[in-house]
Amino acid sequence: MSTTPPPQQTKPPENRIISYHKIRLAVGIIGMLLPFCLWILNAIINESGILHNPLWITFSDGYDAGDNLKDSISHFYYSTVGELFTGALCAVSLFLFCYRGYDRPAYGKYHKIPGDNFMCNFAGAMALLVVIFPTSADPCMKDNFRAFVATDATGYIHYGAAVLFFVALSIISFVNFRRTKEPENFGKNKSHHIFKKCAIVMFSCMLILLVLFISDVTWSDDYNLTYWLETVMLVAFGISWTVKGQIDQQLFHVNYFGNGVVEEE
């Protein structure tokens, strides 16, 4: 009596594709939530007075909390939620390094812009530089939770890396996410308008920040304009990546987002 072995169950190839989509969703969600989580958690820690309890931490002179909302997102590095700031950026950087995406198309509009892999790796490297080289801070900050205070030179590296990080994210949203299997259909899908608007928002906020930096206005600190402009950029970045992840996950069984790569016959 012969028995036939049960058919071997193989893992569907779509699992790898879905994992890329989940990475997009994770990157987008972290980007959107980060500025609000930093503000809220810093306020909770400061207002609860938990750092005055020796059960948790001991200061030689006591901890004097500053403003709950900082001038910029980067200044949260020196606050009670500095680990959340660095951890979130490291997570985004790791996801960007792991995400390969699609190759550069052979022809079509903006075909000279590098593919997803290069752009994401570049953005991930800039995110790491933002973490490694924190923004410059006033040595007299009363709520400096870190032993390390960045110099002006370190701050310039931080600013440069942050600018390149957002520039890369804007290009990814404006170009890479709007590519299709047929290069002539670049930017013609319904979702492409969302990516374009997100990129325009990020570019516009960077332009306003540049004007504020060059004009050296002081009143912007009174309204935390840098923080709010950075928040708008992160929300736009998060929306772009979240929408891209959801759309691709719904259509992963269709070779619809081939990004202009010519398939072999």
pLDDT digits (tens, 9 = 90+) for 96-143: 898 777 788 888 888 899 998 999 999 999 999 999 998 887 655 566
pLDDT band at 7 (very low <50, low <70, confident <90, very high): low
Which residues, other chains included, contact 7 with Cβ-Cβ below 8 Å and sequence gap of 6+?
A: none
The DSSP code for 78 is G
Mean pLDDT of the chain: 81
pLDDT value of position 158: 93
Q: 12-26, 48-62, 240-254: which has the minimum mean pLDDT?
A: 12-26
pLDDT value of position 85: 94
Task: Provide the angle, in degrees to the nearest 10, between the axes of the packed helices 116-132 and 82-98.
Answer: 160
pLDDT band at 254 (very low <50, low <70, confident <90, very high): very low
Residue 88's SS3 state is helix
pTM score = 0.80
pLDDT band at 38 (very low <50, low <70, confident <90, very high): very high
The CA radius of gyration of the chain, in Å to the nearest whole number, is 22
Tokens read off for 145: 């939770």
Q: Measured in whole angstroms, how far is the alpha carbon of residue 147 from the centre of its chain? A: 26
Residue 104's SS3 state is coil
pLDDT value of position 264: 36
pLDDT value of position 60: 61
Q: 9-18, 96-105, 218-227: which has the minimum mean pLDDT?
A: 9-18
pLDDT value of position 155: 87
- Is a pLDDT exceeding 80 seen at residue 84? yes
Q: How many residues does the chain have?
A: 265
Residue-wise pLDDT for 140-190, tens only, equals 556 666 766 677 888 899 999 999 999 999 999 999 989 888 888 888 888
Whether the Cβ atoms of residue 53 and residue 98 lie closer than 8 Å to each other: no
The closest alpha carbon to 100, from 127, 124, 128, 126, belongs to 124
Question: Between residues 213 and 236, which one has the greater pLDDT?
Answer: 236
pLDDT value of position 45: 87
